[in-house]
Structure 1
Amino acid sequence: MSALTKAKGFKKSKSGTYLSMAVTAFGAIGVAKRLKKARADNDTLVLIDATVSAAAIVTGLALAYRELKRLGDDDVLLG
């Protein structure tokens, strides 16, 4: 099995999904900072952009959670 095949399989594993959720949650920190700064500067356009980014993060986390539920206990890469 090539390294590329293993990497593609990791993306669909529980470990890969957890990593994806962690990276997405880490991105939420930057969005929170942008929201705070936009509110302080009263910048409506940046506020809208940060709000849309926050919605994308929530959606991404929901999709990753659904993938975790779908994977269940039959993760072939961990066992």
Structure 2
Amino acid sequence: MPIKAKGFKNSKAGTYLSIGSTAFGAISVVKQARMARKDNDTLRLVDAAVSAAAIVTGLALLYRELKKLGDDDVLLG
């Protein structure tokens, strides 16, 4: 049974970890897009574009969560 840290997912550290892992996934999408362009594979290129849009959306959501966590921080105000 894995050990879970209470509230880690909703913490700044957890959010930064999610941002990092999402950004790391972008490397795979860039490689996929390069291969698709090299092979003139339109379908794979469209798939890479959709994946890139999903990554950008995910990063935007995580950034919003990070800002929300920052607003709740009593040390900042």
Higher helix share: 1
Note the alpha carbon deviations across 1:32-74, whole angstroms, 9 max, x for none: 0000000000000000001000000000000000001000162
1:74 corresponds to which residue?
73
Identical-pair percentage: 70
Query: TM-score, length-normalised on structure 2?
Result: 0.86
1:58 corresponds to which residue?
56
Distance in 2 (alpha carbons) for counterparts of 1:22 and 1:37:
24
Unmatched 5+ residue regions in structure 2? Answer: none
1:31 corresponds to which residue?
29
> How large is the Cα RMSD of the aligned pairs?
1.6
Question: Which secondary structure does the structure 1 equivalent of 2:8 belong to?
Answer: helix
Question: Which secondary structure does the structure 2 equivalent of 1:10 belong to?
Answer: coil
